[in-house]
Amino acid sequence: MVLKPGRIVIVLLILLLCAGFLYFYPRQSLNAENIIHRTLKKEKNITSYYLMLEMEFNQGNKIREHFVQVWYTSPHFFRVEFFPSYPEKNGQPDQVIISDGVKIWLFSPEMGDYFALSPSLQELTPTPFLLNTFVEGLAKSRESEFLGIEKKEKNAYYLLRVIPPVSGKEHAYEEIWLEKRTLLPVQIISYDQQEQVQQRVLFHKTVLNADNPEELFKIDEKGGAVSQ
């Protein structure tokens, strides 16, 4: 079938409009505000998760490292286990923090001792390790800037520079890598006012809507945390 000249012009105009939309729309939407909005929208569908984190802390003359396992089930249940090195199967953590939905408990497997954190010690709770708390902080950030897309091997990441809602001398701003396809964080680096790295969080594994057993968030009859 041969198209008439008038129809050819119409078809070319439609193709040109489509090409223009595909060319300009992604560039207009690639900004920090839009990326954060999409991240918040995605987080609303997350009811539980499991995380494996590697954390480094700058303590001046040395770097302190921890590996952290996190289980979370909405709305208020979580378990955080701290290890000095990458945890082996059935390995015993140095410390465990558990929210049973009502109280938050600190437990030492080695000592077999535990206590409930009082309201005055709430700042010790492991909310910085929770994915939903990270997203909440992202939404409340004082400033945010899209720095570009970083490609590594087969993956691509959005890189954001964010000033957190509560910033200070030791925590002036953060650089955040979000996996482009999933919008999940893969790395967070915190800087002080002198632009020195203070903390680095690397996400080794993230499982969304995980089937977390209820026993993870319970304290046994003897007062100890139920072991994993």
Q: Which of 2-6, 87-91, 170-174, 215-219 has the lowest mean pLDDT?
A: 2-6
Length of the chain: 228
pLDDT for res 184: 96
d(CA 155, CA 173): 25
Greater confidence (86 vs 61) lies with 86
Please provide the average confidence, as pLDDT, over all residues in the chain.
83
pLDDT confidence bin for 24, thresholds 50/70/90: very low
Nearest to 68 by CA among 53, 57, 90, 89: 53
The predicted-structure confidence for 102-138, as pLDDT tens digits, reads as follows 888 888 877 777 788 776 555 555 566 889 889 989 9
pTM (2 d.p.)? 0.80
**Contact present, 119 and 102 (Cβ < 8 Å):** no
Q: Could you give all domains of the chain from N- to C-terminal order, each with its CATH number?
A: 43-217 (2.50.20.10)
The predicted-structure confidence for 94-105, as pLDDT tens digits, reads as follows 999 999 888 888
pLDDT for res 227: 52
According to DSSP, the β-strands at 155-163 and 173-179 are: antiparallel
The two three-digit tokens of residue 211, written as one number: 């089937």
pLDDT confidence bin for 5, thresholds 50/70/90: low
The two three-digit tokens of residue 118, written as one number: 């009082």
Angle at 86 between CA 80 and CA 91, to 5 degrees: 70
Span 49-68, mean pLDDT? Answer: 91
Model confidence at 34: pLDDT above 90: yes
The predicted-structure confidence for 190-211, as pLDDT tens digits, reads as follows 999 999 999 999 999 999 999 9
